[in-house]
Amino acid sequence: MSQKVLLNAKEVNIILHRLACQLIENHNTFSNTVLIGIQPRGKFLLDRLEQMLRTDYKIKNLNSGYLDITFYRDDFRRGDKPLEANTTEIDFIVENKNVVFIDDVLYTGRSIRAALTAIQSFGRPRHIELLVLIDRRFSRHLPIQPDYLGRQVDAINEERVKVKWKVNDEEDVVYLINS
Q: E strand or H helix at 46, and its extent?
A: helix 42-55
Domain borders along the chain are: 2-25+34-178
pLDDT of residue 22: 98
* Rama region for 170: left / alpha / beta (φ>0; ψ in -120 to 50; rest): left
pLDDT along the chain (179 residues), means of 10: 93 98 97 96 97 96 94 65 77 96 95 95 96 92 96 88 93 92
Q: How many CA atoms lie within 13 A of 30 on its CB side?
A: 21
CB distance 2 to 158 below 8 Å: no
CA–CA gap between residue 161 and residue 179 (Å, rounded): 11
Query: How long is the chain?
Result: 179
CATH number 3.60.20.10 is the correct assignment for the domain at 2-25+34-178: no
Per-residue confidence (pLDDT) for residue 82, from 0 to 100: 58
